[in-house]
Every structure is written in C-alpha cells, then in structure tokens.
Amino acid sequence: MTATTSSVPAGSMVQRPTSVDEAAGVLRDSRGSVLFRGAGTKIGWAGRVQDPDLVLETGGLHRLLDHNPADMTASAQAGMPLRALQDRLAEAGQWLALDPATESAGATLGGLLATGESGPRRLRYGALRDLVIGVTLVLPDGTVARAGGHVIKNVAGYDLTKLMYGSLGTLGLIAEVVVRLHPRPEISSTVVVPSTAQEATARSLDLLASPLEPSAVDWVGDPRPGSSGRLAVRFEGTAPGVAAQTAALRDRLDGAASDVLADADESALWREYADARRAGPGQSTAFAGTLPSRTSAVAAALADAADAAGVDVELASHTASGLHTARFSGPPAQQAPAFDRWRRAVSALGGTVLLRERPAEMDAAVDPLGPAPSAVGLLRALKARLDPGARCARGRFAPWL
C-alpha cells in the first residue's frame, strides 16, 4: 500500500491498497471525507466532489482472481481495467458482454459498476448490473460486505450489486466483482443506412417489432429536422445467422441505400460512435433516458435548444433502447442554457437527464442532477444506513444527499 500526492486536490492523501483487507484497514483507520477513484474516466459526472481528505485509488486492485470457463463466470478485483479483463477472457473464447465508450481510456470494472455506464450492446446483453452476480464491498467504516457468488442463480442476502449500480461512489468501495460471461461471437456485421433522426426512430421501432435480434441499434448525427446521420445495426453470432439477419434487414429498408461493414471497417465505425459519447476540450455531454418512441422528439428538442442558445450539438442515441447522449460545443455561458432547455423538454416527454462532462465554468449556471426523484427519501435512508458519517463522495449527489 502506497501514498502519493500526484493529480489530487491539495491536502488530500492518496492510498492505493492491493487487497480487500488493506482497503478495509485504510477506511477503518482514517477519518474525514473520501473519494474512490479507478481510472478517473468519469470522475466529473454529476455534482463535483468536494476536495476529499482521502483519495482511495483502486489501481492496486487489478488482479483477475478466478475464471471458470465451464461455468462461464469470472471474478476480478474492481480496479482491473475492462480491456485487460477482455484480453484474459479471450484466451478461452469468452468475454464480458460490455462495450462502454470509456473502455479504451482504461475504465475499470468497479468504476463501470459505480457509474452505470453501458454501451451499444446493452440492447442484447443488458447492462453491467445484469452481468454481475456477486460483489465485495468495503463500507466507509471498514466493514467488508459480500453478496451473491459464483452461481448465476444466487438469491442469498441483499442485492448489493443493484444498490451500487450508478451510486457514483457515494455508498462504499466496490472492491471485487463476480461476473457471468458469454461466448465470443463467431462473426459480426453492421448494416449502416443514412437516416435523419426521424427515420432512425421509425426504423428502430420497426426493428423492435420484427423477429430480428440485433446486438446494437445506434444513430449518430445532427439532430436538426432533415439533417443527416447514420443508423448502425449490428448482428453477431454464427456466420449463417448473421448473413441471414443482415439480408433480412436490408429487405426491410424498402430500397434505402445501405452498406454492410465487417472487420476493421466495422470496428472503426463503432469506435467513432463511442467517441461521439465523450466530450472534447471545452465540450459538455448530457445523458437522457426516454421511451424509444420519443427519440425523434428528443432530437427535435435538442436542435431547438441549440439554435436558441447559439451552440453546436450532436446526438448519439441507442435508438432501440431510448438512451441518448447529447454533446454541446460552444462558449460555456451558452452551453448552460442549451442544456437546461433540453432537459426541461426531455422531462416534459417523461424522460430524465443527467449532466456528465462539462467545463468548470458551467457549474455555477446549471444543476447537473435536476429535480430530485420521488424515491429521494429512500435514497437518503440508504445513504444514512451505509454511510452514516457522509464520508463518501461529498457533493456528488448534492443537494439530494
């Protein structure tokens, strides 16, 4: 276990434990506020964390603990980068069916569970909360808690995995995870068709009503009515099955021009789509969830908000899932009202919006969380039970918690 002072707020101590017991000891023997940090790829999501007294890094918790190919399960320490895990699992022809945008930046298993980040393949395989079957936590007082195990149908104890999913480090340290795996697909192919947001919505709803089983259905483009984008539909599995589904989809497109990508071209497309969900210098990203049928309305509202504020925007949507990432570009003083106007419009559609990455100048002008959910009382009770001293990630969910 080591301490360092690099890349942390002034006055914060950093500890990097290498085991659950060490992590428990650090928390048990320390006082004050604490921030848990993996690769830091999503450290700015939601509210800004107040300068912590302690930063507990998971970089020392990076080992694959067990891999059982026959049972298709694996356990790993939470600081293990997803990419490193995938490389190890590939040796047995398996993988954790997860493809978040931050994988290439070193996103860790614990960080992904804590933030709830998923990728395009969530449509077929589910989110990480659906793939984790066991978890080991270290609570703020140093108590070690375990739930689940290596058996997929395990119902013993509280479902701590679901509690930690999307908690953004406010309840405790995710130290180890047990995940269920899938065989690596034999082949993959992506059909790409130029589409406006309105066309992409209609085609995605048609896909959902069809017998086809895509792994991902994503649209990226300019949200303004009539502006172009590209709808990408990915199929994975055996070669005959993928070929049949690809042909069936092209038949459903009623003569619309389309391309079929595979191998390097396909990989490049999905890297581009992942990049569209991440902010560049001076940019902001916001994440929204709605019914899939609302996608065209979400796009129109984003275009309206951008034009009113005089900023540029791009929309990246999992159109068959109703999950959308908006990227704003322009002066922060103009991005803020554009984001606020879009959030109000999405809320009117029955959706929710969370501000993710953004320039620091926006913090005084916008509330990253928005209105508290109806279950905020339950969230506060849970926080009081697991973190009674309010040590973890102070400010992350302010003013809710």
The CATH number covering residue 313 comes to 3.40.462.40
Q: At which of 134, 157, 183 does a domain end?
A: 183
148 and 285, same structural domain? no
Residue 158, pLDDT score? 60
In a domain, 208, yes or no: yes
pLDDT(30) > 80: yes
In a domain, 397, yes or no: no
Residue 392, pLDDT score? 97
198 and 301, same structural domain? yes
Residue 225, pLDDT score? 86
194 and 175, same structural domain? no
In a domain, 25, yes or no: no
137 and 86, same structural domain? yes
365 and 231, same structural domain? yes
195 and 173, same structural domain? no
Tell me: the pLDDT tens digits for 102-146? 999 999 999 999 999 999 999 999 999 999 999 999 999 999 999
pLDDT(154) > 60: no
282 and 332, same structural domain? yes
In a domain, 227, yes or no: yes
Which domain does 149 fall in, by range?
64-183
358 and 268, same structural domain? yes
Total tally of structural domains belonging to the chain: 2
What average pLDDT is seen over the chain? Answer: 93
Residue 305, pLDDT score? 98
177 and 208, same structural domain? no
222 and 140, same structural domain? no
In a domain, 379, yes or no: no
Q: At which of 136, 156, 183 does a domain end?
A: 183
266 and 311, same structural domain? yes
233 and 327, same structural domain? yes
Query: Which amino acid, 248?
Result: A
Tell me: the pLDDT tens digits for 302-326? 999 999 999 999 999 999 999 999 9
